[in-house]
């Protein structure tokens, strides 16, 4: 998945830029969008009542969705999206992915701005888009922000992120974010089991379990 953030001051054109990018990229990719919202108001009263305490799904003539009764992290929400391209509006303080700036806003992780053409912006998303775990495990020797900066500058690769390239769990296609302790625990247990089996060799291990 290629991810990029669109950031800027209020009324700087973030939403308009996202829609232009999404419209063009959706011709070749499955595109998803996440927006940072200060508040969310469910117009349908019953849904609002349900979602105040319970995870609530809704299906209407044109749309469907799931509402959580508590705040989720950006990484939690991303795990529910199975997309090729992820456009993230806002989340300025999340320093684990590259940015596209709007208006006069400046960002050290910027790979493009709204002053660039849409074609140039898309090219840079395809080339530089990524999303690090944002857990600052330190296994690569850097924080996620520093590693993101190094990747953008060409000094490192997404493959250098140990958490992205070690232990991965997916449930019904949804990737589950793991902290360092859980990742190591699962890895060590699985490797111990595999080593006890005959006719095994070193390499990537893939396990599928149907419950």
Confidence of residue 94 (pLDDT cuts 50, 70, 90): very high
Determine the average pLDDT of the residues in 90-116.
94
Closest CA to 55 of 36, 43, 70: 70
DSSP state of 197: S
10 Å CB burial of residue 57 (0-12, 13-18, 19+) is exposed
pLDDT digits 0-9 by tens, 169-184: 777 777 776 666 677 7
The enclosing H or E element of 118 equals helix 118-128
Confidence of residue 95 (pLDDT cuts 50, 70, 90): very high
Confidence of residue 7 (pLDDT cuts 50, 70, 90): very high
Confidence of residue 190 (pLDDT cuts 50, 70, 90): confident
Determine the average pLDDT of the residues in 125-151.
91
Question: Taking all residues of the chain, what is their mean pLDDT, rounded to a whole number?
Answer: 85
Confidence of residue 97 (pLDDT cuts 50, 70, 90): very high
Distance between CA atoms of residues 137 and 179, nearest Å: 8
Comparing 22-26, 29-33, 48-52, which segment has the lowest mean pLDDT?
48-52
Confidence of residue 143 (pLDDT cuts 50, 70, 90): very high
Token pair in block for residue 114: 């709204």
pLDDT digits 0-9 by tens, 155-171: 998 888 877 766 777 77
Confidence of residue 144 (pLDDT cuts 50, 70, 90): very high
Report the CATH architecture of 2-38+56-131. 3-Layer(aba) Sandwich (3.40)
Q: Are strands 110-113 and 99-101 parallel, antiparallel or unpaired?
A: parallel
Token pair in block for residue 196: 């006890």
> 3-state class of 85 per DSSP?
strand
Confidence of residue 125 (pLDDT cuts 50, 70, 90): very high
For the chain, give every domain's residue range. 2-38+56-131
**Number of residues that make up the chain:** 211
Q: What pLDDT score was predicted for residue 34? A: 93
pLDDT digits 0-9 by tens, 34-62: 998 876 666 656 777 887 888 888 888 88
Q: How far is CA 207 from CA 61, 140, 143, 159, 186, in A?
A: 39, 26, 30, 21, 12
């Amino acid at each position: 998945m290629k991810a990029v953030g669109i950031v800027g001051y209020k009324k700087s054109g973030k939403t308009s830029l996202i829609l232009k990018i999404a419209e063009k990229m959706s011709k070749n990719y499955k595109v998803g969008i996440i927006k940072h919202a200060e508040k969310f108001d469910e117009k349908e009263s019953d849904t609002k009542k349900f979602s105040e305490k319970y995870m609530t799904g809704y299906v209407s003539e044109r749309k469907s969705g799931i509402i959580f009764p508590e705040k989720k992290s950006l990484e939690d929400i991303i795990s529910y999206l199975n997309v090729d391209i992820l456009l993230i509006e806002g989340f300025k303080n999340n320093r684990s992915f590259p940015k596209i700036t709007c208006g006069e806003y400046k960002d050290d992780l910027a790979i493009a701005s709204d002053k660039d053409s849409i074609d140039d912006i898309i090219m840079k998303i395809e080339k530089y888009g990524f999303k690090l775990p944002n857990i600052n495990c330190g296994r690569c020797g850097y924080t996620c922000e520093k590693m993101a900066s190094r990747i953008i500058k060409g000094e490192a690769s997404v493959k250098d992120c140990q958490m992205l390239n070690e232990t991965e769990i997916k449930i019904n296609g949804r990737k589950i974010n793991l902290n360092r302790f859980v990742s190591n625990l699962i890895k060590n247990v699985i490797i111990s089991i595999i080593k006890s089996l005959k006719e095994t060799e070193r390499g990537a291990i893939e396990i599928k379990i149907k419950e």
